[in-house]
Amino acid sequence: MKVTINDVAERAGVSIKTVSRVINNEPSVRPSTRKRVLEVVQALNYRPNLAARNLAGTHSYSIAFIYDNPNAYYVIDMQNGILEACRTQGYELLIHPSNAKSSTIHDELRRLVEQSRIAGLVLTPPFSETQEVIETLNSLDVKYVRIVSSHGTDEGEHNCIRIDDAAAAFEITQHLLGLGHRRIGYLSGGTEHFSTLGRLEGYKAALQKAGLLYDAQLVAQGEYSFDSGVESATALLKSSQPPTAIFAGNDEIAAGALFAARKLNFDVPRQLSITGFEDSPFSRQTWPKLTTAHQPNEEIARCAAELTLEQVHCKGSGERDSQKKIKQEKTIIRSFTPKLIVRESSGPAPEKICSS
């Protein structure tokens, strides 16, 4: 027989309304009572019907994840991280893929918020970095958190999870410079992403610190995809002065660059070093495995969902008090710097090998 809220209330010795308040994470419950109710919920394995709860009350218990990203690994990591936070706090996750370039995206967002009764949203690039999308959400009665590159964002914004792409790109480029490479190519992703600009900025800064001039001929503009990596790397490696190392804007591009190098008979890493970014499964499924920067996407997504839910919970106390509480909160990490992971795809520059 299915366990009901009545069973929980009877076993815990409280009213149905008190059980409802505990399940809904409402603050007006004594800690001892909350503890007793939660123990009964666990003992009886009670599972409230969240969909019915959404329909029955004025408060929504759903968080939406909106994305436009061809990288399935990234999307899955994001889903898992957000879902972990939602389950912990009794919320459902609505997954909503969309086309960021669609002319109807603003109407789509309005329908999503109004018809699906969303309490909050987690936005990833390019949605999180599109001003028109932000303006649309600001006009709606909904909380949202943006996952964005630190490049070009305001540090004072309370509803952002920032990724320091520039610092991580600087570290990767320094790694290649430390191996003796002086002609380092850079394969860029789409310029609609702030991360693209941040990673290029870090690459340039490392060259400048090493006393090297930035050479636009070593930079190939593309997209965050395997095919783009193949095309861009092929063009650089067929040039009259090919690079001895390639820094790819993400692991998928790097995997494509590795494929192109193999077709052109470049030995990696003896003749050519290749690095990626993000530490996705692409970086571990290639041979040799890719040197990259580890970006903890699940943790980033979990923190974004926690910050979204924090804003949702503060919403009833008034905007000024809500923002004050959010800014004072110290437990949620709002900034991440991907860390260098050195693997077999990067090695000494060919001239250093010859001289040793």
Segment 242-261, tens digit of pLDDT: 999 999 999 999 999 999 99
Banded model confidence at residue 16, pLDDT cuts 50, 70, 90: confident
Q: Can you list the positions of beta strands (E) in 51-169?
A: 62-67, 92-97, 120-123, 143-149, 160-163
**Domain spans, the chain:** 5-48, 58-164+296-336, 166-295+340-355
Query: Is pLDDT at 325 greater than 70 in this prediction?
Result: no
184-187 and 273-275 strand pairing: unpaired
Segment 272-289, tens digit of pLDDT: 999 999 999 989 999 999
pLDDT value for 238: 97
pTM: 0.79
* Greatest Cα pair distance in the chain: 81
State the residue for tokens 């690994």: 73
Residue 174: φ, ψ to 5°: -60, -35
Segment 118-173, tens digit of pLDDT: 889 999 998 998 888 999 999 987 899 999 998 756 655 678 999 999 999 999 99
Cβ-based burial of 141 (10 A; exposed 0-12, middle 13-18, buried ≥19): exposed
245-248 and 273-275 strand pairing: parallel
Rounded to a whole number of angstroms, the CA Rg of the chain reads: 24
Work out the average pLDDT over 60-72: 85
Most confident of 2-11, 54-63, 80-89, 228-237: 228-237
Give the CATH fold of the 166-295+340-355 domain.
Answer: Rossmann fold (3.40.50)
- Check: CB of residue 164 under 8 Å from CB of residue 199: no
What is each CA distance from 235 to 171, 220, 245, 255, 277, in whole angstroms?
25, 8, 14, 15, 21
Higher pLDDT: 208 or 133? It is 208
Q: Give domain 5-48's CATH number out of 1.10.260.40, 1.10.540.10, 1.10.3720.10, 3.40.710.10.
A: 1.10.260.40
CATH code of the domain made up of 58-164+296-336? 3.40.50.2300
pLDDT value for 348: 97
Tokens standing for 272?
């050519």
Domains 5-48 and 166-295+340-355 share a fold: no
